Amino acid sequence: MRIIVLTILILLSVQAFSQKKSYKINNDDNTLLWEISGKGLKKPSFIFGTMHMVCKEDVNFSENLKNALADADTVYFEMDLDDPTLMLSGMKFMKMKDKTLKDLYTPEEFDRVEKYFNDSIKVPFKMMQSLKPLFLQALIYPKLMPCKNVSSVEQELMLIAKKQSKPIKGLETLEFQASVFDSIPYDVQARDLLKSIDSIGSYNIQFQKMVNDYKNQDFSNYDSLLKSSEYGSEENQAVLLDNRNINWAKQLNLILKGKPVFVAVGAAHLPGKNGIINLLRQQGYTLKPLYNK
């Protein structure tokens, strides 16, 4: 009888051990998927770099990523993308305060912007003259995509998370993100928008390079990505990236003490001195690059 009991215990132990997922480590830091452990964590959490606009056919999630998502209790995005009021409430934050584009451009510059949106974007420009230039710049990106079926990595991740009934939360509110945009003067936003339109050919080349770097998970080129026109201009990097990274790292230091989480934020927030990976390491966590192909 004792032998039978011992045999059952051994079998149960082997089964439990075999069910524990093993995450393959990447050979270098060129990966978008990282494991967060150490500092007393009982189970690892994960952080993944996303891209806010991609061709749907280019979204392919690795087994490591799927396992990490399954092992997490909660999924965190930059914002709570599952909030049903997000789209409607976002409209009020897109408008400038007491300004229109005509106040920010000379008549000749305004005509150039208006012509581009009417002719190339095919959107009635009269409806958009009160919108913040940074939001208008985002409308250029779909035109640069080499496909018709445009999606986002976050959207595809959320579909999986919802199928698994994972709670979805955000590191920021929409109101906070709008305040970030407002901290960049409207005239600076307008200048960057006009610059993108006037040099749309080189802007397109830069954008495609950024897409390829993301698909190849090439972190060696991310310094140039951080200074690319996706973020308006280099001087805005502290506002759009660095300060937010510091805020997120502080939040995560508390969040990680609970159940394991899967964090998905824009890939540009991960690398560098002020990137999330380095900031979490400075707080005492161990971050390991995971194989993600």
Exposed, middle or buried: residue 76 (CB in 10 Å: 0-12, 13-18, 19+)? Answer: buried
Does residue 84 register a pLDDT over 50?
Answer: yes
In this structure, of 155-159, 229-233, 254-258, 287-291, the range with the lowest mean pLDDT score is 229-233
Q: Say how far apart CA 277 and CA 293 lie, in whole Å.
A: 20
Comparison of pLDDT for 51 and 221, the residue scoring more: 51
Does residue 6 register a pLDDT over 50?
Answer: no
Closest alpha carbon to 247 in 78, 108, 128, 25: 78
Task: Give the DSSP H/E element, type plus range, for residue 169.
Answer: strand 168-172
Average pLDDT over residues 17-30: 74
CB 267 within 8 A of CB 49: yes
**74-79 and 168-172 strand pairing:** parallel
Q: Say how far apart CA 37 and CA 288 lie, in whole Å.
A: 8
Distance, C-alpha 107 to centroid of its chain: 36
Q: Say how far apart CA 288 and CA 199 lie, in whole Å.
A: 39
pTM (predicted TM-score): 0.86
In this structure, of 25-39, 102-116, 175-189, 263-277, the range with the lowest mean pLDDT score is 175-189
Predicted local distance difference test score (pLDDT) of residue 110 = 96
Distance, C-alpha 156 to centroid of its chain: 12
